[in-house]
Structure 1
Amino acid sequence: MASFQLPGSIKSLFMFAYFFITCVSFIGNLMVCIMILKHKRAHSASGIFTINLALANFLITLLNTPFALVSFINNTWMYGHMICYLSRFVQFCSVYVSMLTLGALSLDRYRVTLQPQKPRMNTVKGSICVIIIWIQASCFSLPHSMYQKISQLDVVNKTNRMICLPSVPGPSDVIRKYLDLTLFILLYILPFLVTVVTCSIMAKKILLLRNPIQDERIDFSFNHQQKKKVILKMLIMVVLVFYICWSPLYFYEVLLSSSAIYNHEAVYFALHWFAMSSTCYNPIIYYLLNKAFRDEVKIALRSWWQKVFNRNHTRPTVSAIFCQNLRESYPPQEVGFGMCEDIDEIASQYDQIDPSNVRIIIGMP
């Protein structure tokens, strides 16, 4: 592995870049889950697949990105063997889950778009598909994590530099080469081809034909067609962004396992950051292309801001003003202990009135 000490400015730039995508990914994917769970109309197989994508992004954001950043900054691995296994497992499992989910989502949209007369996949079947996806992804990710080990480098110089690397039993070169190549084809190339084929067919039917399924009973109004186009655009953008971000790192890993190139630490972490940045793009795509999602985000942000603002600028209620005037007008001994509590119960129904318009007049004996 080729390595050298990078300037402090480059490390600071990487710190900011990793921190930025971590924050955007966490907030954005959290809002996606909340918006889908909040609205019953989004409770469908497509909604479950979208939440699954967000959960996969959550997993890799919390359990892989921070460890990679600290290792790059400190130029050593400092978390022990267990996190070394876990971090590698999470990276591959999240990627495989995303790939398989995108393939399932494209097939679901294909069926909804071109075969609307058939019953749609319900949430139960969608949940079963998600469980199967996670089981498959976990099984395929285990070989990557099982053969991880922490190696010590620069022993001669006594720098005690530790690094988390794959260590496949002999003949290691052959096993790692064919393992990475097989998983690359099965879990990267095939889901991508399925997604490309289904999206191409949907685009041809929606964009080139006036009636995609040749059924006059279906209402093909302009808004209906526009909605289908928007959904197709979002799916294509999500797929393209994901594969554009992850392809450089995946090809780099395949070349490393084939001994075609030597690992360069700075190059690896640059490609790793580019791949990790894919976790923060989906919410942005939804916001830009989906008007309903955009409106819900604006409403949620406005509601949150109003709560924060009103918490810092709380207006007194009518009952509070009444009790204050009562205490100022009468001596304490003439006011019963529970009198203001009784007044609160009576006056609470009027608390929606603007207190600035209330004038309380108490007759003096």
Structure 2
Amino acid sequence: MYNDSSLPGAWEASDWAVASQCPPSVGGATFLIVAYSAVIAIGLLGNAGLVFIIARQQELRNVTNILIANLSCSDILMCVVCLPVTVIYTLMDRWVLGEALCKVTPFVQCMSVTVSVFSLVLIALERHQLILHPTGWSPAAGHSYLAVGLTWLVACFISLPFLSFNILTNDPFQNISLPANPFRDHLICMELWPSDKHRLAYTTSLLLFQYCLPLLLVLLCYLRIFLRLRRRRDMLERSRRTRGAQRINVMLLAIVVAFALCWLPLNVFNTVFDWHHQALPDCQHDAVFSACHLTAMASTCINPVVYGFLNSNFQRELRATLLRCQCRSQAPESYEAFPLSTVGSEGVTKATSMNMNSPRPEISSAIPAKTIPIHI
């Protein structure tokens, strides 16, 4: 999930020559252009719409939604920088975008993926705290903004080696023994580490701390949440609101699982390439990479699709926004302003949550004392 080039820097000169003699077919190139264009369009429009709606409505700015918006921002950055560059590099099999993008593109991808993973971890930890310890400390919206800032700072630090070790060069083509070397003027963007040990140590660490361990922690959090809610199945708290909260948990878990599955093929590809790149067929290398990378980039569409289409409040707000943009005289559909998620940014007092005579339904103790959406 860290490598954005279709030709990483571990090949020998002969490998570069063979790969350069295997251009993609017209059908394959057309498919890549159409597929990547669709991912870019869905990712940009969907995530931008999600961020806009969350930022526009004050009542939607709770902890979970702020982290969801942060996840969408990292996906937008991926769509703008990484996807177009990867398509161009894969199709042309040479680097024509300059030295700055050679360094910035893998740096941005690594940073964006790290932010996405950390956002998923923070969402899972927040829900774990609020559902398993509803009377304990609960994060506020201000804490989420601080967490978002730290997430980007840590992700930037983790990704710094790509700025140092990615270079633009034509060295691999200079020593090719051909009567007329057609690749002499070709430039490639590759990683040049002090040694293979340094490269393998870094990429293996990324695999563990950017993918395996975070997702394992997330799944553990949701497993404990599921077991806690299951133990309360026959209690008085089991109500329509509790079932709605369970649906939100399932939805958030679906985002995590889909993210993990999307990035799994590219992680496997990069691991095989790092440790035994000869196992990959020469002329099929780009095709295999493109399939794995396209699957990974599809993760940028998960957030708006899963979170947007499965949340009725988000759909209502989206329709109302579109109506206002079209300057229609018809008033937007009115609905009670519940947050998009079951976790609000500001808690209610214990006395309020225990008030049986309140005109609003009582909030179950199985769920944190927060505002609960009626329709999910």
TM-score by length of 2: 0.75
Aligned to 2:136, the other structure's residue is in SS state coil
2:301 to 275, 280, 286: 280
Match of residue 158 from structure 1: 182
Match of residue 358 from structure 2: none
Within the alignment, does 1:250 sit opposite 2:267 as a pair?
yes
Contact 1:230 1:289 in 2 (8 A): no
Shift of 1:150: 2.0
Contact 2:50 2:308 in 1 (8 A): no
Match of residue 8 from structure 2: none
Ranges in structure 1 where 5+ consecutive residues have no aligned partner: 310-365
Alpha-carbon distance in structure 2 between the residues aligned to 1:246 and 1:113: 29
Ranges in structure 2 where 5+ consecutive residues have no aligned partner: 1-14, 331-376
Match of residue 168 from structure 1: 193
Alpha-carbon distance in structure 1 between the residues aligned to 2:197 and 2:264: 22
Alpha-carbon distance in structure 2 between the residues aligned to 1:251 and 1:301: 41
Deviates more, 1:253-262 or 1:119-128: 253-262
1:293 to 288, 297, 314: 314
Contact 1:286 1:294 in 2 (8 A): no
Aligned to 2:193, the other structure's residue is in SS state coil
Alpha-carbon distance in structure 2 between the residues aligned to 1:107 and 1:16: 38
Structure with the larger RCO, 1 or 2 (CA within 8 Å, 6+ apart): 2
Contact 1:173 1:257 in 2 (8 A): no
Q: How does 1:87-98 map to 2 (within 5 A)?
A: 87-98=105-116
Match of residue 222 from structure 1: 239
Alpha-carbon distance in structure 2 between the residues aligned to 1:225 and 1:16: 42
Alpha-carbon distance in structure 1 between the residues aligned to 2:249 and 2:187: 46
Aligned to 1:259, the other structure's residue is in SS state helix
Q: Which structure carries more helix by proportion?
A: 1
Shift of 1:154: 4.6
Q: How does 1:320-359 map to 2 (within 5 A)?
A: none
Shift of 1:89: 0.2
Q: Residue type matched to 2:221 in 1?
A: T
Contact 1:150 1:162 in 2 (8 A): yes
Match of residue 323 from structure 1: none
Q: Deviations over 1:146-197 (max 9, x none)?
A: 211123255542233322111111xx22111111112211221111111010
TM-score by length of 1: 0.77
2:219 to 196, 199, 212: 196
Q: Deviations over 1:10-52 (max 9, x none)?
A: 1011001111110110100011111211222221221221111
Shift of 1:91: 0.7
Q: Residue type matched to 2:182 in 1?
A: K
RMSD value, Cα: 2.1
Q: Deviations over 1:28-83 (max 9, x none)?
A: 00111112112222212212211110110011111111111111222221111111
Q: How does 1:130-141 map to 2 (within 5 A)?
A: 130-141=148-159
